[in-house]
A = this chain, B = another copy of it.
Amino acid sequence: MKVIQLSATDDFTPGAMKRHFLVEDSPHFKIINFNLDAGVTFPVHAHDLDGELSIFVLEGDGFFLGADHMEMAAFPGDLLISEIREPHGVRAQTKMRILVTIAPPI
């Protein structure tokens, strides 16, 4: 059992996406905090694996991205649920912090 304070990972890399692994070694899930600078895109991608992921918007505004150039507005408190094999991504409009949970981990 451990407690992680996401206030401690509130740092950004100018023009890029910064990745903080919060749980690296669990066989059950992986939890990652990504901080995207304004305008940065986490490109749409997918993996041909069974599994599911959630993307929770901690701070900032942007868009959830999907197949066929689909975009859905993403605000703090919004939660995307997606199969790992479904195309998914994020585009930050402002500085944006997201929490990604992947089960099982890949």
Contact = CB atoms under 8 A, between A and B. Distances in A.
Interface of A: 1-7, 22-23, 26, 28-29, 31, 50-52, 54, 56, 58, 64, 66, 72, 74-75, 77-83, 86, 88, 99, 101, 103-104
A2 B77 CA distance: 14
Given A77-B7, A81-B23, A1 B103 contact: no
A23 B79 CA distance: 11
Contacts of A28: 50-52, 103-104
A23 B50 CA distance: 16
Given A22-B79, A78-B6, A103-B103, A29 B1 contact: no
